[in-house]
Amino acid sequence: MDGKFYTKILERQIPEVYSMLGDSWRLQQDNDPKHTSRVAKEFLKNNVPEVMDWPSNSPDLNPIENLWAIVKRNTELRRPKNLNELDVFLHEKWVKIPNNLLINLVNSMPQRCREVIDRNGERIPY
């Protein structure tokens, strides 16, 4: 994926975020090159109320990494036979992620931040 493709994804998703939250939201993303590309930065500047500053190499502070781990485990168990089967499986699994899991991940952020501070910036086990 590159910055242009990433921007296309955001173009499809951002209207729904605005419809749910209005202007009172922030985008959190890591410093992956596609996120910091010129095309992505320009798009974000013009279409997102605020982009949070985020430390590089900090998967322990990125709740989406917990979701990717769950999806990966489920995919390895299922072992899709082709790309189409993988696509269908991933869509099915993604929409079935329980809301309480998402809420718990978001609510874990203050504790994660406290732990990183207590460890002087070192990684934490999440």
Q: What is the sign, positive or negative, of the torsion defined by CA atoms of 88, 89, 90, 92? A: positive
Is 125 within the bounds of a domain? no
- The total domain count for the chain is 2
Residue at 82 is within a domain:
yes
In a domain, 54, yes or no: no
**Does residue 123 form part of some domain?**
no
| Confidence band for 31, pLDDT divided at 50, 70 and 90 | confident
99 lies in the same domain as 63: yes
pLDDT band at 58 (very low <50, low <70, confident <90, very high): confident
Shared domain for 41 and 67, answered yes or no, is no
pLDDT of residue 41: 96
The residues near 101 (Cβ < 8 Å, ≥ 6 apart) are: 67
Asked whether 99 and 105 are in contact (CB, 8 A), the reply is no
Residue 62 has pLDDT above 90, yes or no: no
Is residue 53 in a domain?
Answer: no
Are residue 71 and residue 105 in the same domain, yes or no? yes
Alpha helices in 1-119 (DSSP H): 3-21, 33-36, 38-47, 64-78, 83-95, 99-107, 109-118
Is 52 inside a domain boundary?
Answer: no
- What residue numbers bound the domain in which 36 lies? 3-47
